[in-house]
Amino acid sequence: MSSTVPGRTPTMRDVAAHAAVSPMTVSRTLRGDPRVSPEMRERVLAAVEALRYRRNDLARGLRTGRSSGLLGLVITNLSNPFYSELALGVESIASAAGMRVVIGNTGGDLERERLLVDDMASRRVDGIIVVPAGHDHSHLDPDALHGLPVVLATRPPSGLDVDCVVVDDFGGSRRATAALVAQGHRRIGFLGLGRSVWTGAERLRGHCAALEEAGLPVDDALLRSVPADPGAAEAVALELLSRDDPPTALFAANNRNTVGAYRAIAETGSAAALAGFDDVPLADLFAAPIDVVTYDTGEVGRRAAELLLERIEGEEPPAHPRLVTIGTTLKRYRPLGAPHPSGG
Amino acid sequence: MSSTVPGRTPTMRDVAAHAAVSPMTVSRTLRGDPRVSPEMRERVLAAVEALRYRRNDLARGLRTGRSSGLLGLVITNLSNPFYSELALGVESIASAAGMRVVIGNTGGDLERERLLVDDMASRRVDGIIVVPAGHDHSHLDPDALHGLPVVLATRPPSGLDVDCVVVDDFGGSRRATAALVAQGHRRIGFLGLGRSVWTGAERLRGHCAALEEAGLPVDDALLRSVPADPGAAEAVALELLSRDDPPTALFAANNRNTVGAYRAIAETGSAAALAGFDDVPLADLFAAPIDVVTYDTGEVGRRAAELLLERIEGEEPPAHPRLVTIGTTLKRYRPLGAPHPSGG
DNA sequence: TGGACGCAAGGTATCGGTAACATCCCAGTT
DNA sequence: AACTGGGATGTTACCGATACCTTGCGTCCA
């Protein structure tokens, strides 16, 4: 019984015809222009309702030359809780500014990242937040994108003058390692990331700094780089623990390595202590204690979005690139109560 | 040193002028129209590169009347791993079809859901996938949205003829409860969801069905509804366990309740067995065993996106709404090795 | 030699809105 | 009665592309 015509979305002209006014009056009414008389406004709104008309924001944006109202977010792995919280942080700030977020998942593939950035630029997003997958950032240069604002998250730009939000990888690792040292550990195994990953290098640097500050030697034999395959961290940890003079503690440079190391320790019945970068949710339900370096992932997204919005909406955007560092906290998970007898 | 003009994004006309051809030739070249001579094509492409020109997909879409190439995804909580995996599933299918995903987070607020759907419709997305926050779905009616395809995920439509993807809540709960019964449990506490939540009702129904099939009585005193506040599940579980005749097992209707119940059991030193709906990652590192009902969350998103794409791209879209049910698996987490002595 | 034909490139109108300008109408003024 | 002013509404052009049609030119056959 609705008066809509099936198969075609009504346009402003349809509304104008239905209300017997000019399209301009419809446009003004919907825009809230005060120069429309009350009775006109009412007539127009009645027609809008009758046709269930909805203004086409794409066409509107084209004419006004104004922004598309979209932010691009290109991340490596949305299913990773870190990035999904980051995405939520971006979304919350964007929404508060009346913008929507277009999301793209790269899976760590540089070629896909290029494609996504290009596609989003073609869609005329107002800015892009990227967690870059590789070291080549040339496709992220705002100069090559006609001034499209870009903000990097989690990793600093290489060869680009863009804003960036990173985590205090160095400080967090330093503190976690220092905590292990304070517990009396002298030989600590390090389960690192890929050698060329910036984040990994910083975490290694922080680890070594804490050792040096404590006057302890840095034993290269205890510093390992763990491949990204599942299971690799566990294997490397097992190898470290089975040495003639095994480390008495392990420090894992990320979440995955922490879990792998935990498994290795549990399997071997080792008494080694464990600390790791990144939170491990519910670790207080584990059987053994661990220390982790945590940080507010949502905050990374929020700050990145804020930096971006300042450049998009700002009267005079900052002349120089800015670097925001998100602080870390050392969180100690201790087993909850005595475990009850195993059933099943 | 680039020849781009700062402050303005070049248009097709700029490229045409730079290459001394008509805009039509530029358009055809970029569209891959074979009627462009090789030398023309080269001239155009050179100009494109010189100006770093990028076609405006918004304007293009307006003229071609074709889709915006955007899918809307409205979910309740992106930071929840279930929904972020669902989002990833949607993204993967959308990307494979050359589309992007616009994301909106409702936080469970119905008003915000309405606003987001409206906004996305105005942006002319080609279809919307929604995890509805409430029971009123009137704003999701495709008829009211001029035929915009809508797919619901996780919850079935109420009063709407739209496609939907749900999890086999009933079957999963039935199987999990049956497993507890098979282990010899006769009195099982149920930690349910809000009374009006469809998902919660199905899970309760499955639980009761398993009891009845085993010839066991359904004791109303053991069926509890847990508020959504953090900590509530633990409190309800504690209360159940402190009864005069406490249940020997608990079944939790979702992830949060499972964790709360686990805490309660660990704190009281109870020997109660535990099962729950939804996966609890890393539960094999816990001190006590649990059984969980798992399912492929990404698959929910992928199937939803596929249903949507069939209506968007399909020559003749299905006449009737379709319901896809994602199957569940019972997964048993058993503690890994003997826990080592607590340090720290 | 003339004209039908094919091909490449250009011209014009249009998608759905809105900015800028033009018009209309009526009250208030001289 | 003609004149002015300003608020309400309509007209035209245009945002950046492309569909559709036209033009210009070389080719081939009668």
Write down the pLDDT at residue B271: 94
Please name the residue that has the structure tokens 């205890």.
A222
The residues facing B74 across adjacent strands are: B104, B130
Write down the pLDDT at residue A337: 62
Each residue of B283-307: b (16+ CB within 10 Å) or e? bbbbbbbbbbbebbbbbbbbbbbbb
Is the confidence at residue B157, as pLDDT, over 50? yes
pLDDT band at A301 (very low <50, low <70, confident <90, very high): very high
**B298: closest CA of chain A, how far (Å):** 9
Residues 314-343 of A with CB under 8 A from B: 332, 334-343
- CA dist A216 and A211 (Å) reads 5
Closest alpha carbon to A276 in A231, A332, A327, A202: A332
- CA dist B88 and B95 (Å) reads 10
> Which nucleotide minimizes the distance between its C1' and the CA of B33?
C8
> Is residue B120 within 8 Å of residue B75, measured between CB atoms?
no
Write down the pLDDT at residue A313: 87
SS3 A179: helix
Is the confidence at residue A297, as pLDDT, over 70? yes
Contact B285 A266 (CB under 8 A): yes
Contact B124 A79 (CB under 8 A): no
Beta-carbon contacts of residue A152 (< 8 Å; ≥ 6 apart): A129, A130, A131, A132, A137, A140, A160, A162, A163, A164, A165, A304
Interface residue of A2, A54, A336 to substitute, partner B, most B CBs within 10 Å: A54
Write down the pLDDT at residue A316: 80
Write down the pLDDT at residue A314: 80
- Residue with minimal CA–C1' distance to C6 is B35
The residues facing B333 across adjacent strands are: B290
| pLDDT (tens digit per residue) in B122-140 | 999 999 999 999 999 999 9
Interface residue of B64, B148, B282 to substitute, partner A, most A CBs within 10 Å: B282
pLDDT band at A191 (very low <50, low <70, confident <90, very high): very high
| pLDDT (mean) for B303-332 | 93
Beta-carbon contacts of residue B37 (< 8 Å; ≥ 6 apart): none
Q: Which among B7, B123, B344 is the nearest to A289, CB-wise? A: B344
The residues facing A293 across adjacent strands are: A277, A330
- CA dist B287 and B283 (Å) reads 9
pLDDT band at B7 (very low <50, low <70, confident <90, very high): low
Backbone phi, psi, residue B132, to 5°: -70, 140
Beta-carbon contacts of residue A225 (< 8 Å; ≥ 6 apart): A192, A193, A194, A195, A200
| pLDDT (tens digit per residue) in A56-92 | 999 999 999 878 899 999 999 998 889 999 999 999 9
Beta-carbon contacts of residue A236 (< 8 Å; ≥ 6 apart): A191, A224, A226, A260
Residues 182-201 of B with CB under 8 A from A: 183
Interface residue of A15, A48, A57 to substitute, partner B, most B CBs within 10 Å: A57
Please give the distance of CA B167 from its chain centroid, rounded to a whole number. 11
DSSP-derived secondary structure for B106-133: -TT-HHHHHHHHHHHHHTT-SEEEE--S
Neighbours of B315 (CB within 10 A): 5
Question: How are strands ordered across the β-sheet holding A290-294?
Answer: A223-225, A188-192, A249-252, A273-277, A290-294, A329-333
Contact A273 B343 (CB under 8 A): yes
DSSP A221: G
Q: Which among B8, B52, B144 is the nearest to A144, CB-wise? A: B52
| pLDDT (tens digit per residue) in A130-183 | 999 999 999 999 999 999 999 999 999 999 999 999 999 999 999 999 999 999
The amino acid present at A20, given as its one-letter code, is A
The pair of structure tokens assigned to A63 is 């004419």
Q: Is the CB of A344 inside 8 Å of chain B's CB atoms?
A: yes
The pair of structure tokens assigned to A326 is 């998100």
Is the confidence at residue B1, as pLDDT, over 70? no
Q: Is the CB of B96 inside 8 Å of chain A's CB atoms?
A: no
The amino acid present at B48, given as its one-letter code, is V
Is the confidence at residue B343, as pLDDT, over 60? no
Q: Is the CB of B120 inside 8 Å of chain A's CB atoms?
A: yes
**Higher-confidence residue: A183 or B228?**
A183
The pair of structure tokens assigned to A163 is 């804003």
Closest alpha carbon to A177 in A266, A259, A249, A225: A249
| pLDDT (mean) for A107-125 | 95
- CA dist B22 and A318 (Å) reads 39
SS3 B159: coil
- What percentage of chain B exceeds 90 in pLDDT? 85
Write down the pLDDT at residue B337: 62
For chain A, the farthest-separated pair of C-alpha atoms sits apart, in whole angstroms, at 91
Closest alpha carbon to B210 in B234, B242, B186, B246: B186
pLDDT band at B336 (very low <50, low <70, confident <90, very high): confident
Beta-carbon contacts of residue B97 (< 8 Å; ≥ 6 apart): B309, B313
Contact A58 B2 (CB under 8 A): no
- CA dist A321 and B141 (Å) reads 46
Is the confidence at residue B47, as pLDDT, over 90? yes
The residues facing A105 across adjacent strands are: A75
Contact A334 B344 (CB under 8 A): yes
The pair of structure tokens assigned to A234 is 């566990």
